Copies of this chain bind each other. A is one copy, B any other.
Amino acid sequence: MNTIRTLPGKAGDARSKLLDAAVTLVRKQGFSATSVDQLCTMAGVTKGAFFHHFTSKDALGAAAADHWTATSSVLFMEADYNRHEDPLDRYLGYLDFREEIATGEVAEFTCYAGTSLQECYSSSDAIRDAAYRSITGHSARLAEDLDQAIAQYGAPQGVTGMSLGLYTQTALQGAFILAKGQGDAAPVHDAIAHLRRYILLLFNRDEKLAKKEPDQ
């Protein structure tokens, strides 16, 4: 996808510095509210460098979505939860991992793809497509484990791995919005708790869930 080959700290540095700056600033301020000058300042480059590497601000926004995809796919691919034998354990481990990394400032754990998709879906086809690809691609990787879990444990009619993978991202994206309202990661933890409970119930693995009886 990305054919650029550069030595870190040398030539080509400006491009990746601008992409990093975009991910950081857009997650905090949104795309429109982030100016080209601001991106250049944070990246430590000039406007000339910006328009040397990107034909427009939109083009940077789309490239940053691909950059985000690449960065985060490495993060999740290398995480420990992938080592579990059981596909369901891998999925549950993914949820644990997402909880772990949801700490600190809100802008640091929210999603570039979701943020820019929300804001730019109608103004820039390139950004919308790249951001949506990021989310569906991530869902597809989850779907592999979930399909295996369905084959192994069964599931209600109509439930597919991809559908559950997309729903997982849906809940996480929504949780990021609530987190922005509240100012902390609590909504992410809450959403993951519900997701976990849903999955355990779906696969009849709910023996661990303490039940409360109806009131008399």
Interface residues of A (CB under 8 A from B): 28-33, 106-107, 114-115, 117-123, 128, 131-132, 135-136, 150-159, 163-164, 166-167, 169-178, 180-182, 187, 190-191, 193-194, 197-198, 201-202, 206, 209-215
Q: Given A157-B210, A170-B187, A173-B177, are A182 and B132 also a contact pair (CB < 8 Å)? A: yes
- With A151-B215, A169-B178 known, 20 other A-B pairs at CB within 8 A are A28-B122, A30-B31, A32-B33, A115-B118, A115-B119, A118-B177, A119-B119, A136-B181, A152-B215, A156-B209, A156-B211, A157-B212, A158-B193, A166-B187, A170-B175, A170-B178, A172-B174, A194-B198, A197-B202, A198-B198
Contacts of A106 in B (CB 8 A): 121-122
Among the interface residues A154, A181, A197, which one has the most CB atoms of the partner chain B within 10 A?
A181
Q: Which residue of B lies closest to A214 (CB)?
A: B154
Contacts of A174 in B (CB 8 A): 114, 169-175, 177
Query: How long is the Cα–Cα vector from A159 to B215 in the complex, in angstroms?
Result: 15
When the two chains form their complex, are residues A181 and B212 in contact, meaning their CB atoms are under 8 A apart? Answer: no
Among the interface residues A28, A157, A214, which one has the most CB atoms of the partner chain B within 10 A?
A214
